[in-house]
Amino acid sequence: MPELPEVETVRRTLELAIQNEKIIEVKDYYSKIITNDVEDFKKRIQYQRINRIDRMGKYLIFILDSDVMIIHLRMEGKFFIKRDEPILKHEHIVFRFESGRELRYHDMRKFGTITLLSKDNYLETYPLNKLAPEPKDINLSKFYETLQKKRIEIKAVLLDQHILSGLGNIYVDETLFLSRIHPTRLANTISIDEAKQIIKSAIEVLDKATKLGGTTIRSYTSSLGVHGRFQNELNVHMRKDLPCPICQTKIIKMKVKGRGTYVCPSCQD
DNA sequence: CCCGTGCCCTGGCGGC
DNA sequence: TGCCGCCAGGGCACGG
């Protein structure tokens, strides 16, 4: 479940590894990952160089010569760099470079997406045109106004990438814990001070997790040999029945908007 | 527009 | 041991 810190870690690692590589061929073993017409995708991307890799929220953005390639890893997407090795079961898209090296997109659940868009207008084109700012960039009063209009649980709002980007299930739980707010509180009951606290906590948790290379748990193990260390810093997520680091009350697990959600029933109310 | 539900997908796990 | 059914979940299509 790569969220902002994991995607940023992948971005940095990939940029170091493949900046300036020229794509000479793409092979698809499960083409539904690519949202463009596949033959058009292959033809357009051929001979373009990877000049830079950006990130917005949970999206990776490969800046090529005339196009950009926008990638969402969803639950399990990851990259490996190889050459001359047999294709593994979950390697779906292979980018072969002029150097002979290959970038392989691996995704056990096949949930990820790869989209090629023109460099000219990709920020004004779906999906990035719908994407909200990250916590570090969001305007607090606009964010608060949005909360006031929402009659749904605060956790559901924080997971909505059109309202705030970068947070997923892990970091929403951690953000709400630091903010001492229960995930089922209705968004329109959040005060301006609480909204400010949410943004502050989100920035804090994302920064710290990014510094530690993200969180490595279960399904999302590693990409390019990168192992995050933030799992050791989690306060509530994946800590059912363990003591709250603040008050020692047992962490409980519940469902919110269909997502596994971890809460300290004493600190968060 | 707002919100809830189901879908995509497959490895892992509990139950028998 | 083996099989069945269910669960995990980000984001979108769809429907009320």
In a shared domain, residues A67 and A84:
yes
What pLDDT sits at residue A223?
A: 60
Percentage with pLDDT > 70 across chain A: 97
Per the annotation, the verdict on A259 as an active-site residue is: yes
Whether CB of A229 is under 7 Å from strand C: the answer is no
What residues make up the domain containing A81? 4-130
Mean pLDDT check: name the lowest of A136-145, A162-171, A222-231. Answer: A222-231
In a shared domain, residues A139 and A259:
yes
Whether CB of A32 is under 7 Å from strand B: the answer is yes
Tell me: pLDDT of A222 over 80.
Answer: no
Q: Could you say which nucleotides of strand C lie within 7 A of any protein CB atom?
A: 7-12
Residue A269 lies in a domain: no
Number of neighbours of residue A76 by Cβ within 10 angstroms? 19
Percentage with pLDDT > 90 across chain A: 89
Rounded to the nearest integer, the mean pLDDT of chain A is 94
Per the annotation, the verdict on A3 as an active-site residue is: yes
Per the annotation, the verdict on A74 as an active-site residue is: no
Residues 106-145 of A with CB under 7 A from strand C: 109, 111, 127, 130
Average pLDDT over residues A227-250: 91
Tell me: pLDDT of A229 over 90.
Answer: no
Whether CB of A175 is under 7 Å from strand C: the answer is no
Confidence of residue A220 (pLDDT cuts 50, 70, 90): very low
Half-sphere exposure of residue A106, counting CA atoms within 13 Å on the CB side?
18
Residue A106 lies in a domain: yes
Closest residue (CA) to C1' of nucleotide B8 is: A111
Residue A111 lies in a domain: yes
What pLDDT sits at residue A31?
A: 95
Whether CB of A110 is under 7 Å from strand B: the answer is yes
Single pTM value for the model? 0.95
Contact A187, A150 (CB under 8 A): yes
Average pLDDT over residues A30-47: 96
In a shared domain, residues A151 and A249:
yes
Task: Please give the nucleotide, over all strands, whose C1' is closest to the CA of residue A166.
Answer: C10
In a shared domain, residues A145 and A192:
yes
Q: What is the pLDDT of residues A15-37, one digit of tens each?
A: 999 999 999 999 999 999 999 99
Whether CB of A169 is under 7 Å from strand C: the answer is yes
In a shared domain, residues A153 and A115:
no
What pLDDT sits at residue A228?
A: 86
Instruction: Determine which one of A11, A55, A58, A104 is catalytic.
Output: A58
Whether CB of A150 is under 7 Å from strand B: the answer is yes
Residue A268 lies in a domain: no
The total domain count for chain A is 2
Tell me: pLDDT of A149 over 50.
Answer: yes
Residue ending a domain, choose from A107, A130, A153? A130
In a shared domain, residues A88 and A142:
no
In a shared domain, residues A148 and A97:
no
Average pLDDT over residues A159-182: 96
Confidence of residue A225 (pLDDT cuts 50, 70, 90): low
Q: Give, in Å, how far the C1' of C16 lies from the CA of A237.
A: 34
What pLDDT sits at residue A218?
A: 60
Residue ending a domain, choose from A130, A149, A166? A130
Q: What is the pLDDT of residues A82-139, one digit of tens each?
A: 998 999 999 999 999 999 999 999 999 999 999 999 999 999 999 999 999 999 999 9
Average pLDDT over residues A226-236: 87
Tell me: pLDDT of A219 over 70.
Answer: no
Whether CB of A255 is under 7 Å from strand B: the answer is no
Q: What is the pLDDT of residues A4-16, one digit of tens each?
A: 999 999 999 999 9
